[in-house]
Chains A and B, each alone.
Chain A
Amino acid sequence: MATLATQPESRVSSQAVRFPEHAIAARVGTSFKHEHLPAILDDDSYTGFFEVHAENYMGAGGRPHHALTRIRSDYPVSLHGVCMSIGGPQPLDKLHLGRFKALIERYEPALVSEHLAWSTHDTTYFNDLLPLPYTQATLSRVADHLDEVQEAIGRPILLENPSTYLIFNESTMSETDFIRALVRRTGCGLLLDVNNVFVSAANLGFSALDYLADYPLNHVGEIHLAGHAEQQDDEGALLLIDSHDGPVADAVWKLFGIVISQCGPVPSLVEWDSAIPEWPILKAEALAAQAVLDRHARSTLPGKVHGAA
């Protein structure tokens, strides 16, 4: 398993380390939702990590920073950027990149990730992860953007594969070729969203197993799991929506087991962003993922089931 993208290469020397360095290896996590904070603070048994959307903590102060400071004191944190628009053609928003860098310096997250997608065009922010065609021109542009982000924050990021609903006629490469080339050119790590693979495979009519066989699994530094919803396309065929509003589907759990058996107990996260359940239900999903990691950790790393915790 590649660990290059899971740990900061060096601490920012001018910044005092204010938070403990919680180990994240072989752990599971969940999205952090503020309504769960009291339940989390009362929960002595949870040993996972929490992932936050970076943009929610880009205000100056107040309750969001107070909550994240509490969480970061007790748990490893993964900082997940949602709207850097790395996959878009226009230059990165320097102001936004500066805010992202400041959050990383402030909270020293164990993991840092962003999406292979775009969300801003001209001056409009669309608040969705929009898809891009896979061509030499977009490859070069996305690689430049990744270089710029990694240069700014002083560490590699994990790049997440998208959930897709359509294809671009102009694409000349497969998504896995595109992602592999980005890893080679920029040294970024990967956030493998297994639900996204399942959703895209169903929507575009390819085999999720073929995708995973062609995906550079040795660069995966984090895995995402989430629930999806079912709709229909123009022909009445099944169209899956990456909705993050329910439990992880059985088929996605199966894929997850296959991925873990091949790349080891990579930190794995259950996302739940809409119709958010009570903390015990979200925690139970994380524990189900932990059981998969532990099963594999036992078979490969006897005595180190929970990493360095």
Chain B
Amino acid sequence: MAQLDLPAQIPSEASASAAAFASALLDPDRRTPAQVAGPDGKAAEKRYNVYRNNVTVSLIEALAATFPATRRITGEDFFRAMARFHIRASPPTSPLLFEYGRGFPGFIERYDYARSMPWLADVARIERAWLDAYHAADVPPLSLQDLAAIPPERLGELMLVPHPATHIVFSPYPAVSIFAANRSAGPVGPINATGPERALVTRSALDVTVRTLPPGGFAFLDHLTKGKTFGAAVAAATAASPEFDLSANIVGVLQAGAFTAIHQGD
């Protein structure tokens, strides 16, 4: 994390040395910094390149670990080239690599060579959400019984607290089916889905789950996770899709563990 008081606190000599060393690490057009050498005055280009290589390759590996389905879809060479461009444009700003890659789906969306795969960015969004869910705090989910204890006339005004692992992803493409087909190591079967898909990514215990939301389910969850009332969420879901099935959606999101508690309005 950047320290705002940084310039005043750094001894200029040490700072300049580190800045010179750092400046060429992610920039192949820059020359080897002048302050480094091999033993006995030997050249240091390949020696400095060890660090360059470590930086770029380890960050590509980090993106590959976070986005395995994306990599499987594009193939290894395509993925590495795309990741390298992204790393140079947007290197990590946190030492926690599991936080890295939040800008990668947006980068994929603008990446010229990926234009023929317009759903690829959404697959990456699901993968990014998957990792957030994987590392999210452990909180017991709200159960159907908890909700059943609420008198029906109070349901409309209550609000639900989303589980810290809960994320929803909206895609105009069958991104969940494509994600699921490419996420495991097994052979990729036929993908029959063609329409838009919305994903619910969450984790009620240790294993992350990715589900396709039924019609209206995205609007329902979008409202609930933003702290809107149950009544407002139902209205939005019904407006989004006349097929919205309230009881099936309630059972589905609670079985998934998408919420942790009930806030009752006044």
Contacts and interface: CB of A to CB of B under 8 A. Distances in A.
A125 B2 CA distance: 10
Interface in A75-120: 82-83, 85, 88-91, 93-96, 118-120
Contact of B54 (A85, A121, A122, A128): A128
The 8 tightest CB contacts between A and B, nearest first, are: A59-B135, A83-B95, A61-B138, A60-B137, A121-B22, A89-B14, A205-B39, A234-B43
B134 to A, nearest CB: 5
23 contacts: A61-B139, A62-B136, A62-B165, A89-B14, A91-B3, A118-B18, A121-B19, A123-B2, A125-B93, A127-B55, A127-B58, A128-B55, A131-B51, A132-B17, A138-B14, A170-B13, A170-B17, A203-B39, A231-B50, A232-B46, A233-B46, A235-B38, A237-B42
Interface of B: 1-3, 5-6, 9-11, 13-15, 17-19, 21-22, 25-26, 34-40, 42-48, 50-51, 54-55, 58-59, 62, 91-98, 133-139, 164-165, 203, 206
A166 interface: yes
B11 A137 contact: yes
A206 B53 CA distance: 24
A18 interface: no
Contacts of A63: 134, 206
Interface string A26-58: 000000000000000000000000000001101
A90 B54 contact: no
A122 B6 CA distance: 8
A114 to B, nearest CB: 12
Contacts, number: 175
A61 B135 contact: yes
Contacts of A137: 11, 13-14
Given A62-B203, A235-B43, A127 B36 contact: no
Given A61-B138, A62-B136, A170-B35, A126 B55 contact: yes
B93 A123 contact: yes
B54 A133 contact: no
Given A60-B137, A62-B134, A133-B17, A127 B37 contact: no
Contacts of B164: 60-61
Contacts of B62: 127
Contact of B136 (A61, A94, A165, A235): A61
A177 to B, nearest CB: 17
B9 A90 contact: yes
Contact of B95 (A96, A169, A233): A96
Contacts of A237: 42
A110 to B, nearest CB: 24
A133 B17 CA distance: 8
Contacts of B36: 166-169
Nearest to A95: B1
Contacts of B95: 55, 82-83, 85, 93, 96, 119-120, 125, 127
Contact of B35 (A124, A133, A203): A133
B1 A93 contact: yes
A138 to B, nearest CB: 6
A130 interface: yes
A92 B48 CA distance: 25
A184 interface: no
Contacts of A95: 1
A90 B138 contact: no
Given A89-B15, A90-B6, A239-B46, A124 B58 contact: no
B140 to A, nearest CB: 12
A68 interface: no
A85 B93 CA distance: 13
B92 A125 contact: yes
Contacts of A61: 135-139, 164
Contacts of B50: 165, 231, 239, 241
Interface string A61-77: 11111100000000000
